[in-house]
Amino acid sequence: MDIGFIGLGNMGAHMARRLVEAGHHVVVYDTRQEAIGNLTARGAVAARSPAEVADMAETVMASLPTPDVVLAVATGPRGVIEGKRVRRFVDLSTTGAVMAQHIFKLLAARDIVQIDSPVSGGVRGAERGTLAVMASGPRAEIAAVEPALTAIGKVFFISERPGAGQTMKLANNVLSATAMAATSEAMVMGVKAGLDPRIMLEVINAGTGRNTATEDKFTHAVLPGTFDLGFAAGLMMKDVRLCLAEAKTLGVPMEVIEAVARLLQRTCDEFGAEADITAVVQPIEARAGVKVRAPQN
């Protein structure tokens, strides 16, 4: 299958690589030449703009950091909307349902179908091809691209309604953010009381408190002090804000998520928006006067 891929960041580079390795003809574009070069060395073809990608492939996928960037790439000057060959735009980014619906309408006016298809599973999932792919849009169009999407993960059909995949992704991400925030507070409390953080994680993971933070994030990024999961706190802050905005529109109270947003904002303010999501524990550590660390065996 001829596939265009725009956005070769921490997630996109792995997804594009997996498409190449699966035997697809992949045309790539990114604002960084180094990222393009890494993929062309594996067999991808370089393009000079999103429009050129859309001139060369019927299916164009994108993995981009923010809603405004997705909008510009999809519908702006030299964007996908100007491509001569493109028939469908598969958005793997997290934009929120309102933006997804807006882009869907703009592209539909040019007979381009948007498949709203955010992913979850982190950099490791992108690298291994084990992402959860949350697809919404016309069933026939999703079926047409599913053989390619299976190269990057497990495909879940969410709905034919534009934006439904985004709502699913936001629900997932606020749970992930909440697990990280709550686990940070619990772990800091235990360490301040004199508990060994390694034993704490063993007990929690054998009990009812286990979650993605205890099973993965703390073990691999917090205890060794590397803070290198590969997903920025600022990007999670963006996702949480999108979720809060959607919940407000729907009339759903989210008091817990509002508290998580405050901790994320504090992390971004004190350690920078580019700080790893696992750095959420650090403002709590700083105020408690302890660090949740343990040397790796």
| Portion of the chain with pLDDT greater than 90, in percent | 99
Portions of the chain given CATH number 3.40.50.720? 2-161
The answer to whether residues 74 and 91 touch, using CB atoms and an 8 Å cutoff, is yes
Look at 29 and 296; give whichever has higher pLDDT: 29
Averaged pLDDT, 86-93: 98
Q: What architecture does CATH give domain 167-288? A: Orthogonal Bundle (1.10)
**pLDDT tens by residue, 171-205:** 999 999 999 999 999 999 999 999 999 999 999 99
d(CA 181, CA 175): 10
**pLDDT tens by residue, 266-288:** 999 999 999 999 999 999 999 99
Q: What confidence score (pLDDT) does residue 296 get?
A: 64
Q: What confidence score (pLDDT) does residue 152 get?
A: 98
Q: What confidence score (pLDDT) does residue 294 get?
A: 93
CA atoms within 13 A on the CB side of 155: 22
**Residue 258 pLDDT > 70:** yes
Averaged pLDDT, 140-154: 97
Q: How far is CA 262 from the centre of its chain?
A: 20
Mean of pLDDT over the chain: 97
**Residue 161 pLDDT > 70:** yes
Q: Which of 290, 151, 95, 130 lies closest to 216 in space, CA to CA?
A: 130
Return the bridge partners of 132, or none: 120, 154
d(CA 113, CA 259): 37
**pLDDT tens by residue, 48-85:** 999 999 999 999 999 999 999 999 999 999 999 999 99
Averaged pLDDT, 120-142: 97
Would you please indicate which residues are annotated as catalytic (active-site) residues? Answer: 169
Q: How sure is the predictor about 160, in pLDDT bands with cuts at 50, 70 and 90?
A: very high
> Which fold does the domain 2-161 belong to in CATH?
Rossmann fold (3.40.50)
Q: Which of 112, 107, 169 lies closest to 136 in space, CA to CA?
A: 169
Q: How sure is the predictor about 297, in pLDDT bands with cuts at 50, 70 and 90?
A: low
Within 10 Å of residue 124's Cβ, how many Cβ atoms?
A: 14
Averaged pLDDT, 231-250: 96
**Residue 295 pLDDT > 90:** no
Portions of the chain given CATH number 1.10.1040.10? 167-288
